[in-house]
Amino acid sequence: MTTASFSASNTAAVAAAAAARTVLITGVSKGLGRALAVELSKRGHTVIGCSRAQEKLNSLQSELSSPDRHLLLNVDVRSDNSVKELARVVMEKKFVPDIIVNNAGTINKNNRIWEVPVEEFDTVIDTNVKGIANVLRHFIPLMLPKSRGIIVNMSSGWGRSGAALVAPYCASKWAVEGLSRAVAKEMPDGFAVVALSPGVINTEMLQSCFGNSASGYQTPDAWSLKAATMILNLTAADNGASLTV
Ligand SMILES: NC(=O)c1ccc[n+]([C@@H]2O[C@H](COP(=O)([O-])OP(=O)(O)OC[C@H]3O[C@@H](n4cnc5c(N)ncnc54)[C@H](OP(=O)(O)O)[C@@H]3O)[C@@H](O)[C@H]2O)c1
């Protein structure tokens, strides 16, 4: 190998390494989170993922490109202690994320608000809103020393409009929009916090609210191609934005 060719390939390797990011995604066992994790791993990025379904995490680990490079842990985002432990492990392994995608979410069964059980309303808010707050509480302090970072909070078209039978879910996603705009104002230069509406995708969540007509919508795999590119291209200039894939 000549000196010239060595330095050319070395420069390319350095550029590739600089472009490789560590991405924390919550809710990677199925749906959008899983598809995004697979796509980002194919593009050479490192994934830190979590969900509550250990078997699905195990199967995802082997589906990811370069399986040993990623960290998948059983975490319930509703539990502040569980998220705190995730942050501790991430810090210990020096896996501090460049990008966070707060994707874990749940929806109430279609029902008018007066028919939604108290516990179900609580679960939607605890997961979709307080789950994100738990992640922000424990991960923003880890990211601040890097002086740059991107936080994507998964919103919804129903975080910007209203729909019958899913009032708890709508309330939670409007909260995600407000939380994202407020936290954006708290971050120093170099960071971006955005609310992202993913569009309409055929996942178990969509099947819960749309029934059989969910099958007419795009697959998570097709969605992840667009979403991965969009998320990787976010910059500090996007801070405070409400975006749509
Ligand atoms: N699909 C759509 O058309 C659509 C539209 C608008 C917005 N969204 C949003 O996109 C995100 C992903 O939705 P999806 O359609 O992919 O839903 P999904 O198929 O139901 O997947 C939800 C994911 O969240 C995880 N999760 C739920 N509760 C959790 C908890 N307490 N702790 C940790 N992980 C938890 C689930 O994992 P475990 O159950 O294994 O823990 C699963 O991996 C959600 O925030 C949703 O509101 C989706």
DSSP H or E segment with residue 167? helix 167-186
- Quote the pTM value: 0.94
- Examine residue 10 and state whether it is found in any structural domain, yes or no: no
Closest CA to 242 of 192, 208, 202: 192
Are the CB atoms for 181 and 228 separated by under 8 Å?
no
Count of domains for the chain: 1
Place of tokens 């680990």: 61
**Which stretches of the chain drop beneath a pLDDT of 50?**
1-9, 13-18
Q: Are 104 and 151 in contact (CB under 8 A)?
A: no
9 lies in some domain: no
Q: Output the CA 182–ligand 1 centroid distance in Å.
A: 23
Give domain status of residue 42, yes or no.
Answer: yes
Distance 32 CA to ligand 1 centre (A): 7
221 Cβ inside 6 Å of ligand 1: no
Does the residue 193 lie in any domain? yes
Q: Which residue range is the domain that position 38 belongs to? A: 21-244
What region does 112 belong to: left with phi over 0, alpha with psi -120 to 50, or beta? beta
> What's the confidence (pLDDT) of residue 5?
42
Domain assignment of residue 28, yes or no: yes
CB 109 within 8 A of CB 120: yes
Alpha carbon of 199 to ligand 1 centroid (Å): 14
Give a yes or no: residue 14 inside a domain. no
Q: Mark whether 217 is an active-site residue.
A: no
In angstroms, the Cα distances linking 185 to 69, 78, 172, 188 are 34, 24, 20, 8
Active-site residue identified among 139, 169, 191, 223: 169
Angle formed at CA 203 by CA 125 and CA 84, multiple of 5 degrees: 40
CATH of the domain at 180: 3.40.50.720
Q: What pLDDT, on the 0 to 100 scale, is given for residue 10?
A: 52
In a domain, 56, yes or no: yes
Position 154 in a domain = yes
